[in-house]
Every structure is written in C-alpha cells, then in structure tokens.
Amino acid sequence: MSTLTSINDLRFGTAVPQTVVAEEPVSDHALLEATRTGDEAAFAELVSRYRNQITSYIYRMTNDYDGAVDMAQETFVRVYQAADRYQTSYAFSTYIYRIATNLAISELRKRKRRRMVSLTGFFQQPEGQEAREFNPPDSGPLQDVVLVDAERRTAVARAISTLPEKYRAPLVLRDVEGKSYEEIARVLETSEGTVKSRISRARGFLREKLSAYL
C-alpha cells in the first residue's frame, strides 16, 4: 500500500489517457442535407456560420442595419424553404450570397420606385454625379484618432451606398467580403470579365468620392 505524500496523490478513479481527435467541421452541404431531413440543429449551425456575414454584406449593400437584419432573416427563411431544391453543384456560400444579393438589389429597386426620402439620401446624388460630402474632412488638426477613423468609415459606407447597384454588389463582395472573382461571378450569375470591369468602374467612382481620404 502506497503512502500519500501530497493532496495531488489523491485520485478518484484511474486516470485514462484521452486521445484528442480533431473533429473535421461538417461541410455546409452536409448541414443542408441534414436540414432536409428535419434536423433543426443542422440548420441552426448553418445560421450561426453565416448570419454575421450575410447581415454585414446586406448592410454594406443597403446601408440600413434594421433592413439588413430583416433581409438576412428572409435569406435564411428562403434557404430553409428551398432546402429540398438545393443543388450541390456550387458552394453553399455562393448560393446564400446569391439569395442575399437578390434580396438587397430588390430592396434597392423598391426604394428607388418609392422614392423614399431618407436623411442620408438628401446628401446623395444621382448616378454618375458627384456627391456632396455629408461629412467633409476637417482640414484642421484632429485630436482624436478614433473619431477620425469613425468619420472615415462613415464616409466610405456612404460613398458605397451611392454606387449604382450593379457596381455596388461586386465591389462589396470583392473589397469588403474578400470573395474571388470566380465566386462573385457565380453569385451575380455573370461572367468574370463583367465582374472585373464593374469592380474597376466602381473603384473609379469611389476614388472620386473619397479623394479627400486617399
């Protein structure tokens, strides 16, 4: 019988060495396949993976947080309802970004038809025209760096929101979301050449609007 020399020698049961097995993350396709069979946990996992991305993407497209959340939810509702018709030929991210893009563009067109009067829209210009600066850069010395960054981000967001929708979506997908040209082309259901051309044009617009910050 061994003698206890310290409290660390007191063990409850036999220690079993556990091998740590790195679990491979379940693919989006597998999660959607499980969603088809009624596995709500699988759908919840899909939502947790993409809710922030989709909300952020739609917010950059529409510059309206509440509307972006609403449309992000509508995106997931459509994914859930169309789970049976989903085809695994493309990545799930392409599929869900396409739905989100269509919703966002549809909302932008609705706003255009309704001619909604918004506070920010008052400072926006029609397509192709120079926008007046809502927050013109202060030429004087600024004390607070955080304030400067916040102002710059606001200006960039507003500049993006003034872009025509056909330039806005590829620019956000490329420069904000970091998607590849190939994926953007699949999301927008157009050619890569068109995507590159539109992104270049969008950057040209932004350079004019944000010249004070460059």
Partner 1 sequence: MNCQNCRTEIEEMELGEPLTERAGEHLASCTPCRAFHEERLSLRRLVGSLEPVSAPPDFDFRLRARLAAAGNGKSPRFWRSLIGTAPAMTLAATFALLVAGVVLYNQFRSGTSENKQASDITSQKSNPKVETPEVGPAIVTAESNPAPEVASPAEKQKTSPAVLTAGGDKQRATTVAGNRNNNRRQQNRPNVDGSPISSNELAATGARHIKPADDLQLASNAIELPVRSTSQPMRVFVNDRSGGRRAVILEPVVFGSQDLTVGGGARLASSQGIW
What does the binding site for partner 1 look like in residue numbers (CB under 8 A)? 44, 47-48, 51-53, 55-56, 59-60, 65, 68-69, 72-74, 76-77, 80-81, 149, 152-153, 156-157, 160, 171, 175-176, 178, 181, 196, 199-200, 203, 206-207, 210, 213-214
C-alpha angle 63/66/72, rounded to 5°?
A: 90
Residue placing its CB nearer to partner 1 in the complex, 103 or 206: 206
Closest-CA residue to 172 (of 198, 146, 209): 198
What's the closest the beta carbon of residue 95 comes to partner 1, in angstroms?
18
CA 29 – CA 200 distance, rounded (Å): 33
What's the closest the beta carbon of residue 16 comes to partner 1, in angstroms?
37
What's the closest the beta carbon of residue 3 comes to partner 1, in angstroms?
55
- Spell out the alpha helix ranges (H) of the chain: 28-36, 40-62, 65-81, 92-114, 145-161, 165-171, 181-188, 192-209
Residue placing its CB nearer to partner 1 in the complex, 108 or 157: 157
What's the closest the beta carbon of residue 30 comes to partner 1, in angstroms?
20
Residue placing its CB nearer to partner 1 in the complex, 124 or 154: 154
What's the closest the beta carbon of residue 133 comes to partner 1, in angstroms?
15
For residue 91, with 0-12 CB atoms within 10 Å meaning exposed, 13-18 middle and 19 or more buried, which class applies? Answer: middle
Residue placing its CB nearer to partner 1 in the complex, 9 or 55: 55
What's the closest the beta carbon of residue 73 comes to partner 1, in angstroms?
5
b/e 152-189 (16+ beta carbons within 10 angstroms → b) = eeebbebbbbbbebebbbbbbbbebbebebebbbbbbe
Residue placing its CB nearer to partner 1 in the complex, 109 or 153: 153
Give the N- to C-terminal CA distance of the chain in Å, as an integer.
78
